[in-house]
Amino acid sequence: MVFNGAEILVRSLKDLGVKQIFGYTGAAILPVMDELAKQGVKIIVNANEQSAAFSAAGFSRSGTSVGVAIVTSGPAITNTLTAVADAYADSIPMIVIAGQVPEHKLGTDSFQHIDVSRVFGATAKKVILINSVDEIETVVKDAYVYAQSGKPGPVVLDMPINLQKESSNYRELSKQFFEDVYHDEKHLSPVQCEQFFSLLKAAKRPLLYLGGGLSSDASTAALRRFNQRYRIPSVNTLLGKGVIDEYASESMGMLGMYGTPAANMVIQENDFFFAIGVRWDDRVAEKVGFAIDAKIAYVDINTVKVRQIREERFPEFSVIGDAAGILNELAAYGEEHDITLDIDGWRDECIATKNSWPLDYNRGAAALQQAEVIELLSTRLPEDCIISTGVGNHQMLSAQYLKMRRPRRFLTSGSFGTMGFGLPSAIGACIANPEASVFVIDGDGSMRMNMGELHTVGTLELPVKILLLNNHSDGMVRNLENAQYEGRHSATERQKDVNFSRIAHELGFSFSRRVTERSALQEALEQFVSTEGNALLEVITDIEEAVYPIVPAGSSYKGMNLGPYIKKRNDD
């Protein structure tokens, strides 16, 4: 069968199961966009290309398929750079396809030409300039599978417009053909299993350190199988929320700079640190210090990271491989040899620590607190909803106060900390999970970054609900100014109030409301959550609010600052 390049590209995507893409059109990608429409692939048109790529990443983060963004050349593809870098930092598979000038104009000053490989080289898992119409099918299908293989990440495809119009044979290569290329299953030997369990059985205070590398269904199931038997207390990273049920008594919550009191306390006492699917973020691991008084076991699929940790922290046990397979083999070995642990005292101590040191905030404040609003929301959220956040204080408070039972239900920008992430990522999650309730928790600073997506949600009538916590500032940076710059606020405060709820109303939201008084908050939250369709609730919050606990930069967990409101609970 002979087709032009645009049709080959679209047929390749359909063979891979792609039913919708996110994007923004333009001259250099128009043949592909036209073919997408002709072949019935849904095109979600975002307000800009950065948002399209964030939506594709949100699709990947919340589902089991790879999100695809398609944009035109020049400023369109460079607009996706931040979202691509964000996905790369958090190991999120994604495909970005860009139109390009004709091949004979590559390397010239042609209109809207950019050297995509040079711009994106360090920010993507792979960047490919398609050189022939004959290779389009192979490149597209290989890229889709490669993005998910090993350490996942974004792949960028650069497609000159002349190749979109030229013709070639379409071979209908199967997805399985490419999956077989990247299949590299590693197994533990009995000796390795024995080594691991000799370390674990000798431990009196073991602790699981769980990261985003466990967020697949297979890895989560394997982790829970393993820990159903041993009930080892756990701490998780920001991206590891939900890989173990956070309502379980052994879950201590998020670890790190803004971690829960219990998580940041128990890590100081453990003697066996089992890290799985984590990248040892500086906001988490460096606060332990390199002289951690615990034996370390480490499992991750990232060869570079495992080798780095071997050189820096000298783990007694480390394996490069898929977490699901490794954990299932450890679980099977433990079951076969009837291995048990004697850690009841340590487990009880951890649970008592969690119960004794609950989160808290200024409950006597005149102004509404973000923590207060999120805490109230947490009691009203539907089961198994999806939460997407922006970046800032609201993000950390959401991570602290909202507990997830499943992975891929708390979407946030982890390593890159990208403001503007929340709303477009929620759009991707909404498309990937049409049966789920999707909520955005955002701040006014982060919302402004991609506010055009309010138009996308409103005009496409997407059932996304947005809780906007408006403190008229960039609160996290403002807190830093208070702590380190003598309270001078150089560029963090808004000079004029903007009513976001009115904007949502004009864009056709089913529900839009602004709350300024505590007396109206609970009723407004009830309306917000129960509304059919899209909704925006804007709550004006305290500009002086800060997030606690905090482990200041350069400090260890022993230097954790609980703030003025977190106190030890005395149940006596």
248: left (phi over 0), alpha (psi -120 to 50) or beta: beta
- Judged by average pLDDT, the poorest of 104-113, 284-293, 539-548 is 284-293
pLDDT at 100: 96
Question: How do residues 485-509 score in pLDDT, each as one tens digit?
Answer: 999 999 999 989 999 999 999 999 9
Does residue 247 contact residue 403 with C-beta atoms inside 8 Å?
Answer: yes
The conformation of residue 473, written as its DSSP 8-state character, comes to B
* CA gap 100, 130 in Å, rounded: 10
Q: Is the pLDDT of residue 572 over 60?
A: no
Which pLDDT does position 186 carry in this prediction?
Answer: 81
Helix, strand, or coil (residue 205): coil
213 close to 222: Cβ distance less than 8 angstroms? no
Give strand ranges (E) for 251-359. 251-254, 272-276, 295-300, 317-320
What span, in angstroms and rounded, lies between the C-alpha atoms of 412 and 425? 8
**What's the Rg (C-alpha) of the chain?**
24
- Residue 395 DSSP code: H
pLDDT, tens only, 72-91: 999 999 999 999 999 999 99
Q: Distance (Å, rounded) from C-alpha 467 to C-alpha 241? A: 20
Does the pLDDT of residue 471 top 60, yes or no?
yes
Q: Which of 155, 14, 26 is nearest to 94 (CA)?
A: 155
Mean pLDDT on 402-422: 97
Check residue 535 and give left, alpha or beta (phi > 0: left; psi -120 to 50: alpha).
Answer: beta
> pLDDT tens digits for 116-149?
999 999 999 999 999 999 999 999 999 999 999 9
- The tens digit of pLDDT for each residue in 188-213 reads 999 999 999 999 999 999 999 999 99
Query: Nearest CA to 439 among 431, 447, 430?
Result: 430
Nearest alpha carbon to residue 255 among 224, 230, 234, 231? 234
Q: Which of 84-93, 102-111, 378-387, 395-404 is predicted least confidently?
A: 102-111
* Domains in the chain: ranges and CATH: 2-182 (3.40.50.970), 190-356 (3.40.50.1220), 370-547 (3.40.50.970)
Residues 6+ apart with CB under 8 A from 29: 23, 70, 71, 72, 73, 76, 97, 98, 99, 159, 161, 164
Q: Is the dihedral of CA 315, 318, 320, 321 positive or negative?
A: negative
Please say whether the beta carbons of 116 and 106 come within 8 A.
Answer: no
Q: Which residues pair with 254 in a beta bridge?
A: 236
pLDDT at 291 over 50: no
- State the amino acid at position 478 in one-letter form: R
Mean pLDDT of 349-370: 97
Is 90 exceeded by the pLDDT of residue 41?
yes
- pLDDT of 98 above 50: yes
Cis peptide before 549 (omega within 30 of 0): yes
- How many percent of the chain have pLDDT more than 70? 98
Instruction: Name the burial class of residue 208, with classes exposed (0-12), middle (13-18) and buried (19+) by CB atoms within 10 angstroms of its CB.
Output: buried
Write the CB contacts of 228 (distance below 8 Å, at least 6 apart in sequence).
none
Among 557, 566, 204, CA closest to 356 = 566
